[in-house]
Amino acid sequence: MPLDRLTPVLQQAVEDLEAQGRRKGHEPVVTEVVPAQGERGPRYRLLGHGEKLFIRMNSNSYLGLAQHPALKKAEEEAIERFGVGPGAVRFISGTYEPHVELEGRLARFHAREAAMIFSSAYATILSVVVPLVTPETVLISDELNHNCIINAIRLARPREKYVYKHLNLADLEAALHQAAAMGARRALVITDGIFSMRGSHAPLSEIALLVRKYDHHFPENALLVVDDSHGVGAFGATGRGTEEYTQAQADILVGTLGKAFGVNGGYVVGPSALIAYFRETSPMYIYSNPITPGEAAAAGAALELLESPEGQTRLAHLRAMTRRFREGVLQLGYESFPGDHPVVPLVLRDGERTGQLVRFLREEGILATAIVYPVVPKGEESIRFQVSAEHTQADIDQVLRVLERFKALG
């Protein structure tokens, strides 16, 4: 048997994760989405739980668009015209009209010259960072950046990399100073727009000023690269993300279609020359299928909806429900990180206690996810609650009552 000696090693690794409280465990299987009714928002049925209904507080679907009729109609019409899949990578068999239309809409939405879509935001950041790194490039990254950025840096093999303390501008400037002193030709400062485990945002205006301050030291520029996958669609006055919230603009902006927009895929926007370069050099664009034409059409419909009065109403409701939940959590005596984003962590700083609360919530019909090491540093164990525009005031209050009961149990 080819795996006879490897299998016990792998089994032991999983058992070790279980013993350390780090195993993610079995994924719940959604069997039905029950539409909103009366004062309550949508509910979800799970495999193995019969007719029990759950409130979902662990979804990135911040605008609650996955079930929106306009998105479903757009996808269905595109499927009728183009079929269910692209069939191959774009440079081999061509692209589809919905892909091109979506890229144009994304560029306009972000006030950029051009845009380019990928199969996911993870694939996007890998395919943006790696082609931009030469043996004379320095990478500078926030210590709490997402795993996709960490792995992109590993794959890129820069001349040097610096990891600055989370949101510490003095530490960032020290890294830029060192990079300039070593004579590197190019520097990339990379940060998340929204740090998804905390719901906090990067101070992009201050970071951009530092990058501009040191730009003249690098013959091929210092660039600010921002992954705003959790920000776009859910943050800022009109949903344009952390850039809008901080009144700043990145040199290269990465976003996703799979969170607030409710569909699937990732994208990058920037100058047309940069996008043309990525089309020739980005590995996960050249060698991997794009999202389907139906998904592209649905994403285009999501962008159109966000820019409509209905979209702005959804954003306003999302902000109101986020404030209600965050204030309620704090009033109950729980700890959370400050912020205005719909990610609201309930910080327990204890893995066992975190697991107890997650189980208690599920028994009460609430889906929430424990976030433990190594996803977050030890001592920051938490439950990441994610508010959505599909939540009603009654939903938020129901979750807060359950949290109050758990608190009373000691």
Active-site choice (259, 317, 341, 391): 259
Task: Return the amino acid letter for 169.
Answer: L
Give pLDDT tens digits for 210-267. Answer: 999 999 999 999 999 999 999 999 999 999 999 999 999 999 999 999 999 999 999 9
Q: Is 230 a catalytic residue?
A: yes
Q: Where in the chain do CATH 3.90.1150.10 domains reside? A: 2-57+309-409
For 286, the token pair is 């050249």
Cα–Cα distance between 253 and 400 in angstroms, integer? 36
Cα–Cα distance between 304 and 400 in angstroms, integer? 34
Q: What is the CA radius of gyration of the chain?
A: 22
Q: Is 196 a catalytic residue?
A: yes
Q: Where in the chain do CATH 3.40.640.10 domains reside? A: 69-307
The full DSSP string for 266-286 is EEEEE-HHHHHHHHHH-HHHH
The more confidently predicted of residues 410 and 387 is 387
Give pLDDT tens digits for 311-328. Answer: 999 999 999 999 999 999
Cα–Cα distance between 79 and 75 in angstroms, integer? 6
Cα–Cα distance between 256 and 97 in angstroms, integer? 20
Stretch 63-74: mean pLDDT? 97
Place of tokens 């501009």: 212
Q: Is 391 a catalytic residue?
A: no
Cα–Cα distance between 157 and 176 in angstroms, integer? 18
Active-site choice (61, 127, 141, 196): 196
Topology adopted by domain 69-307: Aspartate Aminotransferase; domain 2 (3.40.640)
CA 367 to chain CA centroid, Å, is 19
Stretch 335-339: mean pLDDT? 93
Stretch 77-93: mean pLDDT? 92
Q: Which residues are paired to 261 by β-bridges?
A: none
Give pLDDT tens digits for 153-203. Answer: 999 999 999 999 999 999 999 999 999 999 999 999 999 999 998 999 999
Q: Is 264 helix (H, G, I), strand (E, B) or coil?
A: coil
The full DSSP string for 52-77 is --BEE-S-S-TT--TT-HHHHHHHHH
**Superfamily designation of domain 2-57+309-409:** Aspartate Aminotransferase, domain 1 (3.90.1150.10)
Task: Return the amino acid letter for 53.
Answer: L
Give pLDDT tens digits for 109-137. Answer: 999 999 999 999 999 999 999 999 999 99
Q: How many CB atoms lie within 10 A of CB 397?
A: 14
pLDDT value, residue 67: 94
**Position 374 pLDDT exceeds 80:** no
Mean of the per-residue pLDDT values of the chain: 95
Q: How many CB atoms lie within 10 A of CB 269?
A: 24
Q: Residue 63 — φ and ψ, nearest 5°? A: -90, -5
Stretch 316-341: mean pLDDT? 96
Active-site choice (110, 201, 230, 317): 230
pLDDT category at 1 given cuts 50, 70, 90 is low
Q: Is 110 helix (H, G, I), strand (E, B) or coil?
A: coil
Give pLDDT tens digits for 265-305. Answer: 999 999 999 999 999 999 999 999 999 999 999 999 999 99
**Position 376 pLDDT exceeds 90:** no
Per the CB < 8 A criterion, the answer to whether 291 and 95 are in contact is no
Percent of the chain exceeding pLDDT 90 equals 87
pTM of the entire predicted model: 0.94
